[in-house]
């Protein structure tokens, strides 16, 4: 997509991959009405929930900020290799052009391009970037790594950064530039954050995995199996959806269809997603 602007901030949507997930595994407790709502979405085909994995490149105050890094340059399990490198090249962006990398959380489909492997092992892919890591998120997953061998993606895509890259352990409301800051969106994971943009009287929020599917606009209490705290995740969704609808802000999500960017509007007294 062409870049959009929020005031002086440029936002570019970069599709890394599309991951099929059996709908009943992702949302095992769907009611018939919720199932019908989901099936009407263009991202549900033959019982599979097709999850886009979208990263966002922001340009603000002379800084280039990558929000999430997708599934990565190599296949992982049933996942294909991601396409972020080629998407960036098409946009004329090199890894070394990125100043800040933010992972909204540390699931495998959000940290994959943090690193790549060469003869020396796992190395940072964004060679000049500061990797912003939320303290609460890292503390949670660090405990997992200490107690067990830990998920491979943490050992490969997150842990090496602390030895080989510049890492900034942050709070959940840290400022990245005068126009861009983190915002707490807990529930999906303990330290899950979004990214708020406010510039020139315009606003937007990138919500990461606070929502996975447009059916949640009508059913915010609907939590996928990936939400570690379903009740808190539902509270976060309701709060964010209310705020975005009332303010008219743009909203961007890591797994919503298309470019993932739009507005929440009312159609026949139900929330709907409208692209700009």
Q: What is the pLDDT of residues 5-26, one digit of tens each?
A: 999 999 999 999 999 877 667 7
Q: Where are the domains of the chain?
A: 4-274
Q: Contact at 8 Å (CB) between 71 and 109?
A: yes
Q: Contact at 8 Å (CB) between 256 and 273?
A: yes
Q: Could you report the per-residue pLDDT of 45-65, keeping only the tens digit for each?
A: 445 678 899 999 999 999 999
- Give pLDDT, residue 42: 40
- Give pLDDT, residue 246: 96
What six digits make up the tokens of 242? Answer: 């209310």
- Asked if pLDDT for residue 39 goes beyond 70, the answer is no
Question: What's the whole-model pTM score?
Answer: 0.93
Q: Could you report the per-residue pLDDT of 156-180, keeping only the tens digit for each?
A: 999 999 999 999 999 999 999 999 9
What six digits make up the tokens of 156? Answer: 């490969």
Q: Could you report the per-residue pLDDT of 96-154, keeping only the tens digit for each?
A: 999 999 999 999 999 999 999 998 889 999 999 999 999 999 999 988 877 666 789 99
Query: What pairs with residue 170 in β-bridges?
Result: 134
Question: Which of the residue ranges 27-36, 142-151, 201-210 would you say has the lowest mean pLDDT?
Answer: 27-36
- Give pLDDT, residue 32: 64
| Termini Cα distance of the chain | 12
Closest CA to 131 of 109, 146, 110: 110
- Cα separations (Å) of 134 from 182, 191, 261? 9, 6, 24
- Give pLDDT, residue 194: 98
DSSP the chain: ---EEETTEEEEEEEEEEEEEEHHHHSTT--HHHHHHHHTSTTEETTEEEEEEEEEEEEETTEEEEE---S-SS-BTTBPPP-HHHHHHHTT--GGG--EEE-SS-SHHHHGGGEEEETTEEEESSTTPEEEEEHHHHHHHHHHHHHSS--HHHHHHTTTHHHHSEEEEE-TT-EEETTEEEEE-TTSSTT-EEEEEEETTEEEEE-TTS-S-THHHH-TT---TT-SSHHHHHHHHHHHHHHHHHHT-EEE-SSSSTTSEEEEEEETTEEEEE--
Tell me the average pLDDT of the chain.
90
Distance, C-alpha 217 to centroid of its chain: 17
Share of the chain above pLDDT 90, in %: 72
Which residue matches tokens 């105050």? 61
- Give pLDDT, residue 45: 46
DSSP 1-56: ---EEETTEEEEEEEEEEEEEEHHHHSTT--HHHHHHHHTSTTEETTEEEEEEEEE
Q: CATH second-level architecture of 4-274?
A: 4-Layer Sandwich (3.60)
């Amino acid at each position: 997509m062409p870049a959009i602007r929020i005031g002086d901030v440029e936002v570019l949507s970069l599709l890394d991959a599309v991951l099929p997930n059996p709908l009943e595994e992702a949302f095992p407790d769907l009611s018939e009405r919720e199932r019908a709502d989901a099936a009407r979405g263009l991202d549900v085909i033959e019982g599979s929930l097709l999850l886009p994995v979208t990263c966002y490149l922001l340009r603000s105050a002379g800084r280039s900020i990558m929000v999430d890094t997708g599934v990565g340059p190599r296949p992982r399990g049933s996942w294909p290799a991601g396409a972020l490198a080629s998407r960036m090249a098409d946009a004329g962006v090199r890894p070394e052009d990125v100043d800040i990398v933010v992972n909204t959380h540390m699931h495998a489909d959000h940290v994959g391009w943090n690193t790549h492997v060469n003869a020396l092992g796992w190395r940072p892919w964004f060679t000049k970037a500061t990797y912003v890591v939320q303290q609460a998120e890292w503390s949670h997953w660090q405990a997992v790594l200490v107690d067990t061998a830990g998920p491979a993606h943490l050992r490969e895509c997150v842990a090496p950064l602390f030895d080989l890259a510049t890492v900034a352990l942050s709070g959940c409301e840290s400022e990245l530039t005068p126009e861009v800051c983190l915002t707490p969106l807990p529930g999906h994971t303990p330290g899950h954050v979004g990214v708020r943009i406010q510039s020139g009287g315009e606003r937007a929020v990138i919500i990461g995995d606070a929502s996975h599917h447009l059916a949640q606009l009508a059913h915010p209490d609907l939590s996928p199996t990936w939400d570690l705290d379903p009740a808190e995740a539902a509270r976060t969704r309701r709060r964010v959806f209310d705020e975005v609808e009332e303010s008219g802000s743009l909203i961007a999500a890591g797994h919503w269809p298309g470019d993932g960017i739009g507005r929440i509007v009312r159609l026949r007294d139900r929330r709907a997603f409208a692209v700009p």
